[in-house]
Amino acid sequence: MIRTATRYRMLAIFVLPALAIYVIFSVLPLLSSVILSFFNSSNGGSAFIAFGNYVHLFTDPYISGHFWNALRNSVEFFAIHLIVELPVGLLMAALLTSATLRRSRGIYRTLLFIPATLSVVIVGFIWRLIINPLWGVVSFPLLGNTATALPTISLMSVWEYIGIPMIFLYTALLAIPNDIVEASRIDGASPWQLFWRIKFPLIAPQFGLITILTYIWTFNGFDIVYALNGSAPGPNYSTDILGTLFYRTFFGSSGQVADLDLGATIASVIFFIILVTTAAYFVVLQRRIKTYEL
């Protein structure tokens, strides 16, 4: 056993460099921006107004309308990722670990991951062209209809990022010790049973990790919507998610004056939502998984 003093010393040596960079270039700048949300600087000066901006955000009919709309859209954006990306990613991972694959395994793996390496500028261009009513293969204006625009963009995002859950789950499946698999195979389990009864419970923690990362990434999402539809994403704000609402408010646009205080308020609320949900998830679900494993 290592002495407590040594532990602290080793901890300091190893953790401090990472901690310093993280605090100086991420935590502190963010904190000093969050402070803006407690001030009103619209009339030249800067007056402390406590939660005034938060009250304004949730009571002003126009702004709160946009906020709830964006929140709903973010939930939908996340839900589509969850429903499509995780099952398909899992299927891809399972196929990639299939015993029948040999040398082709690496080729498939790379091909399936390639979209994740692209920038959203390419992704936006590709799909806009393919589903364009004038030049593309679909005559229905998918991106111009308030009902289909957001699902369409979500699926573009899924197309791009599906390689990430795939590779996570794939490595998790590879990491399952062979003796466990062999033992149940000898017990006469079919491949289907083998996967769901033996392998899946073993990769469940990875599955949970990906779920929560997908949640964080989609709620902080911004790039793909912005690349396709700009900072006031239409039609009629039907693709406006929390990230674009924050950007538009905080930085303004060619026709809208920036509101730093309100922008910081929106960002703080987004962060709070993510933090609370993630914390709740870890407390409730992770505990359940642990008891299940036991």
Partner 1 sequence: MRSKLAPFAIVVVAAATIGLSGCSAGTGGTGDAKVTTITFGNWRTEDAKLWESSVIPAFEKAHPEIKVTYQATSTNDYNAAIQSKVESGTGPDVIMCRPFDVNRAWIEKGYFDNLKSLTSISNFTPTALAAWTGADGDPYCMPIASVLAGFYYNKTIFKELGLSVPTTMAEFTSDLKKIKANGKYTPLALGSADGWQLAYNVLDSIGPNYWQGEAGRLGLIDGTKKLTDPDFVAATQAFADLKPYLPDGYQSLKYEDMMQLFTLGKAAIIPDGSWDVTAASATGLDIGVFAAPVVKAGDQRYLQEMPDQGVGLNAKSKNKTASKVFLEWLGTTDFQKIYVDKVPGFFSMGTAAVPYTNKLSQQFADLKKGAKLTPRLALDRLSAGTPPLDDDTWAVLQTVLNDGVSAEAAQQKLQTGLDSWYKPAK
Partner 2 sequence: MTATAPTRAPRGDRVRGSERGTAFAVHGLLIVFAIIAIAPILVVVINSFKTTMGIFGAPFALPGADTFTLQGYLDVFTGGDFVTNYRNSAVVTAVTIALTVALGTAAAWAIVEYKVRISPLITGFFIVGIMLPIRLGTVPLLKTMVSWNLIDTLPALILIYTAMQLPLAVALMMTYFRSVPTELKEAARMDGANEFRVLGIAIPLVRPGIAAVASITMLPVWNDLWFPLIFAPSKQNQTVTLGVQQFVGQFQSNYPALLAALTLGAIPLIVLFTVLSRQFIQGLSAGYGK
User: Residues 169, 176: contact at Cβ < 8 Å?
Assistant: no
Is 62 or 192 the residue whose CB approaches partner 1 more closely? 62
User: Residues 115, 160: contact at Cβ < 8 Å?
Assistant: yes
What does 14 bind: partner 2, partner 1, none (CB cut-off 5 to 8 Å by kind)?
A: partner 2
Smallest separation (angstroms) from partner 1 to the CB of 55 = 15
Task: Check binding of 45 to partner 1 (CB under 8 A).
Answer: no
Among 49, 56, 69, 115, binds partner 2 (CB under 8 A): 115
Name the segment binding partner 2 (CB under 8 A); options: 60-68, 192-200, 229-237, 265-273.
265-273
For residue 286, the one-letter residue type is: Q
Binding to partner 1, residues 101-130 (CB under 8 A): 128
What does 201 bind: partner 1, partner 2, none (CB cut-off 5 to 8 Å by kind)?
A: none
CB neighbours of residue 267 within 10 Å: 23
- How far apart (Å, rounded) are the C-alpha atoms in residues 127 and 163? 18
Is 98 or 147 the residue whose CB approaches partner 2 more closely? 98
- How far apart (Å, rounded) are the C-alpha atoms in residues 21 and 107? 37
Q: Contact letters (x/-) for partner 1, 212-251, by CB under 8 A?
A: --------------x--xxxx-xxxx---------x--xx
Name the segment binding partner 2 (CB under 8 A); options: 49-57, 107-115, 195-203, 232-240.
107-115
- How far apart (Å, rounded) are the C-alpha atoms in residues 210 and 13? 31
Stretch (H or E) spanning 52 = helix 52-59
Among 93, 94, 112, 131, binds partner 1 (CB under 8 A): 131
Task: Check binding of 283 to partner 2 (CB under 8 A).
Answer: no
Taking alpha carbons only, the member of 266, 263, 162, 265 closest to residue 217 is: 162
- How far apart (Å, rounded) are the C-alpha atoms in residues 70 and 62? 12
